[in-house]
Amino acid sequence: MDLQLTGKVALVTGSTKGIGRAIAMSLAGEGADVIINGRSAEIVAKVQAELQANYPNVTIYAAPFDLSDETQREQLYEKFADIDILINNLAVFEDARFEDLSLDEWRRYFEINTIVGIDLAKFYLPKLLEKNVDGRIIFIASEAAIMPSPEMPHYSMTKTMNLSLAKSLSRETAGTTVTVNTVMPGSTLTEGVEKLLASLYPDIADVAERERLFMENNRATSTIQRLIKPQEIGDFVTYVSSPRAGAFSGEALRMDGGIVPTII
Ligand SMILES: NC(=O)c1ccc[n+]([C@@H]2O[C@H](COP(=O)([O-])OP(=O)(O)OC[C@H]3O[C@@H](n4cnc5c(N)ncnc54)[C@H](OP(=O)(O)O)[C@@H]3O)[C@@H](O)[C@H]2O)c1
67: nearest Cα among 137, 127, 27, 121? 121
| 155 is known as an active-site residue | yes
Q: What is the pLDDT of residue 133?
A: 98
Residue 163 lies in a domain: yes
**3 Cα: distance to centroid of ligand 1 (angstroms):** 25
* Shared domain check, 61 and 168: yes
Residue 127 lies in a domain: yes
Report the distance separating Cα 38 and Cα 218, nearest Å.
Answer: 29
Which residue owns the Cα nearest ligand 1 atom 40? 38
Report the distance separating Cα 9 and Cα 34, nearest Å.
Answer: 6
* Shared domain check, 152 and 66: yes
* Shared domain check, 248 and 216: no
* Shared domain check, 155 and 99: yes
Which residue owns the Cα nearest ligand 1 atom 30? 66
**176 Cα: distance to centroid of ligand 1 (angstroms):** 30
Q: What is the pLDDT of residue 141?
A: 98
Which residue owns the Cα nearest ligand 1 atom 47? 91
Q: How many angstroms separate the Cα of 113 from the Cα of each of 15, 81, 119, 205?
A: 15, 22, 11, 31
Residue 264 lies in a domain: no
Q: What is the pLDDT of residue 10?
A: 99
Catalytic residue among 55, 109, 124, 155: 155
136: nearest Cα among 1, 230, 251, 256? 251
* Shared domain check, 237 and 221: no
Domain hosting residue 162, numbered range = 9-188+229-252
Successive 10-residue mean pLDDT values, the chain, 264 residues: 98 98 98 99 98 98 98 98 98 94 98 98 98 98 95 96 98 98 97 90 95 94 97 98 98 98 93
Q: What is the pLDDT of residue 192?
A: 86
**137 Cα: distance to centroid of ligand 1 (angstroms):** 17
Q: Residues enclosing ligand 1, CB less than 6 A?
A: 14-20, 37-40, 43, 66-68, 89-91, 93, 112, 140, 142, 185, 187-188, 190-193
**43 Cα: distance to centroid of ligand 1 (angstroms):** 14
15: nearest Cα among 57, 63, 53, 58? 63
**Domain count of the fold of the chain:** 2
**76 Cα: distance to centroid of ligand 1 (angstroms):** 18
Read off the pTM.
Answer: 0.97
Domain harbouring 125, CATH code: 3.40.50.720
Which residue owns the Cα nearest ligand 1 atom 27? 14
Q: What is the pLDDT of residue 150?
A: 86
Which atom of ligand 1 lies at the shortest distance from residue 191's CA?
Answer: 19
The three-point CA angle 7-8-13 to 5° equals: 140
Q: How many angstroms separate the Cα of 94 from the Cα of each of 35, 49, 195?
A: 26, 30, 9
80: nearest Cα among 62, 55, 57? 62
Which residue owns the Cα nearest ligand 1 atom 1? 188
Residue 97 lies in a domain: yes
